[in-house]
Amino acid sequence: MTTATDTPQDLTAEQEQFDRLIAEDSRIEPRDWMPEAYRKTLTRQISQHAHSEIIGMQPEANWISRAPSLKRKAILMAKVQDEAGHGLYLYSAAETLGTSRDTMTEDLIAGKARYSSIFNYPARTWADMGAIGWLVDGAAIANQVPLCRASYGPYGRAMVRICKEESFHQRQGFEILLELSNGTEAQKKMAQDAVNRWYAPSLMMFGPPDDDSPNSKQSMAWNIKRFSNDELRSRFVGMIVEQVKVLGLTLPDDQIRFNEETGKWEHGPLDWNEFKEVLAGRGPCNAQRLERRRAAHDDGAWVREAAAAYAAKQAAKRNELKEAA
Amino acid sequence: MSESNASATRITPGNALRPEDIAASDVRPSEAVAEYALRLGDDALILAQRLGWWISRAPELEEDVALGNIALDQIGHARSFLTYAARAWDKTEDDLAYFRGEDEFRSTHLVEQPNGDFARTIARQLVVSQYQFALYSRLVSSSDATLAAIAAKAVKEVDYHRDHARQWVLRLALGTEESRRRMIEGLILTWPYVGELFEDDSLVKELEGTAVLPSSLRESFDAEIHGLFAEADLEVPEVPAAVGGGRRGEHSEHLGYLLAEMQVLAREHPGATW
């Protein structure tokens, strides 16, 4: 693998240019030369991110039909629709690295590509719409804000737009929980239960602990990743520990504390075995999520074929007209 | 979140009339106007409930976005019409959406028809968007200022829905053999429910100048459909009309299931706010 730590005599002029751009914290653009490993890492990361947006639509889309007020229904529809939009920008960003959206989609539905494990947990109640917005989108924002400065231009620019919408999503999630928490006993119980279920999975969204995250170092050297998993996780804990008080709810972790020495927030142990199990496909909803994506793709094949055939016929007609003229 | 922040969802673009404005205004419709607003609101609500299913299941991501947008527009129209109607009975949009029984809904049979495959959804979209476009184009001149204002916002949006449906009818009808077969089948399944949209009754006659007489929209609807079908090499299906009655609360078997799902959570927690 070519890395930024290669010895100078191995470097081509192109590699030197790439290294210089990275050292200056400048942007790499699609037409620039880049090491294969950089291209591969980014393709994997951006496509996984896109897949996460698309699979992540499902747990929330399930509640569109049952949203308990028309205003909430409209907001939820807009939110899930935004996620489809995010998937589209991200697939486009990944395509600039030379892999087609079709290939990425095929990899997803064949079960070869990964997406964020969090979406393999079920959204059992309406309060999950709040907890997903507050905790899952909140963790996503904590992860993604630094990605706005990622060295690969199209990715960084896509993230700027996505982060703006995500912060709206987080606010609306927070507001759902706030309303429930101030509501009836049953509503408050529903809210607390959802926070209890989504807390640990959302902390695990930042990825394994730093000493068990082999790819992080290279991503940081390439200015793709700016902060370590544990650093981001600690910041996120510091954020939600304050917000949960406003909600009038509690986090299911009595070991959260601010470490004066390190200046960092700490939390109780997380079940990394569960994380690995879900990642390996053995979570509560892995099979269901992929099946639904596959069904939508397969059932829609004839529609995409029709659109392509129509476009081809129209193009042929235009050519005929041109020749006749 | 304050109301002003809601515009970030594109639910309330620009300075258009919002349901919250209608709820806060002093204008109170007569019972008859409220009954009429219920019809328009229920059509939009039931259609939105059907279309929402496609979000995360559409043939391509661009269609998840497009059908989602259309559903969102329809929910917006439903909220405005229902909020206005609700004022006549000192109720809210949510009282009407979640706590009425099936026989109190005033939607037509067309909008409660199942999604079926994409072609059937597009056939339903074609009919409903052409109808709503013709209707709202006229309702902007209603003597009732609130109905006119809701229609002024809705007609611009429905114009896009109409374009979306027409573009897909062309693609499906002239695309592949399979898409053509499915498009024709979708139209056959949809056409029995067209007639009900254009039926007049005593309420709309009583509201002359306020309501739009449905029968008066038929000619422009037919002309637009014929123009499109000529281009798409399609024919208007010759199928018997279904027995309607939606405006009187007589619905097909589909509506009960749809409402059961839509209302379940709100009814589990009566009196709660969300």
B67-105 confidence digits (pLDDT tens):
999 999 999 999 999 999 999 999 999 999 999 999 999
Residue B5, pLDDT > 50, answer: no
Helix (H) or strand (E) holding B62: helix B61-87
Q: How many CB atoms lie within 10 A of CB A106?
A: 13
The CA distance from B50 to B73, in Å, is: 13
Q: Tokens in use for A9?
A: 């005599």
Residue showing tokens 């409903």: B128
For B47, nearest residue in chain A (alpha carbons): A65
For chain A, what's the residue count?
A: 325
Tell whether A5 is covered by a domain. Answer: no
Tell whether A317 is covered by a domain. Answer: no
Buried b (16+ CB within 10 A) or exposed e, B195-227: bbbbeeeebbeebeebbbebeebbeebeebbee
Full set of structural domains in chain B with CATH: 27-261 (1.20.1260.10)
Q: Residue A273's domain is classified under what CATH number? A: 1.20.1260.10
User: Which of A77, A293, A317 is the mutation pick for testing B, counting most B CBs within 10 A?
Assistant: A77
**Option in A65, A88, A171 nearest B1 (CB):** A171
Per 3-state DSSP, what percentage of chain A is helix, strand, and coil (rounded to 5)? 70, 0, 30
In this structure, the dihedral spanned by the alpha carbons of residues A205, A208, A214 and A215, taken in order and rounded to 10 degrees, is 10
Q: Per the structure, how many domains does chain A have?
A: 1
For B167, nearest residue in chain A (alpha carbons): A307
Contact assignment for B274 to A305 by CB distance below 8 Å: no
Residue A208: domain span: 14-291
A64-114 confidence digits (pLDDT tens):
999 999 999 999 999 999 999 999 999 999 999 999 999 999 999 999 999
Amino acid A213: pLDDT: 87
Residue A1, pLDDT > 60, answer: no
How near does any CA of chain A get to the CA of B230, in Å? 16
A210-263 confidence digits (pLDDT tens):
999 888 889 999 999 999 999 999 999 999 999 999 999 999 999 999 999 999
Tell whether A306 is covered by a domain. Answer: no
The CA distance from B121 to A116, in Å, is: 32
Residue A8, pLDDT > 60, answer: no
Contact assignment for A77 to B52 by CB distance below 8 Å: yes
Amino acid A271: pLDDT: 96
The CA distance from B140 to B147, in Å, is: 7
In this structure, the dihedral spanned by the alpha carbons of residues B141, B147, B150 and B156, taken in order and rounded to 10 degrees, is -30
Tell whether A316 is covered by a domain. Answer: no
Contact assignment for A302 to B178 by CB distance below 8 Å: yes
Residue showing tokens 């970030």: B8
Q: What are the angstrom distances between the C-alpha of B220 and each of B138, B188, B227, B236? A: 12, 21, 11, 15
Residue B24, pLDDT > 60, answer: yes
A252-284 confidence digits (pLDDT tens):
999 999 999 999 999 999 999 999 999 988 999
Contact assignment for B272 to A184 by CB distance below 8 Å: yes
Tell whether A315 is covered by a domain. Answer: no
Mean pLDDT of chain B: 94
Contact assignment for B68 to A81 by CB distance below 8 Å: yes
Amino acid B244: pLDDT: 93
Tell whether A243 is covered by a domain. Answer: yes
**Option in B61, B71, B78 nearest A88 (CB):** B61
Amino acid B9: pLDDT: 37
Q: What does the pLDDT average to over A145-163?
A: 95
For B174, nearest residue in chain A (alpha carbons): A310
Claim: this prediction has a pTM higher than 0.90? yes
Closest C-alpha among B33, B170, B108 to residue A310:
B170
Tell whether A298 is covered by a domain. Answer: no
Amino acid A191: pLDDT: 98
**Option in B11, B48, B58 nearest A296 (CB):** B58
Q: Tokens in use for B4?
A: 């002003």
Output A279 or B186, whichever has higher pLDDT.
B186
Residue B2, pLDDT > 90, answer: no
Q: Tokens in use for A323?
A: 């020749």
Contact assignment for A303 to B172 by CB distance below 8 Å: yes
Residue B10, pLDDT > 50, answer: no
Tell whether A307 is covered by a domain. Answer: no
ipTM: 0.94
How near does any CA of chain A get to the CA of B197, in Å? 25
Mean pLDDT of chain A: 94
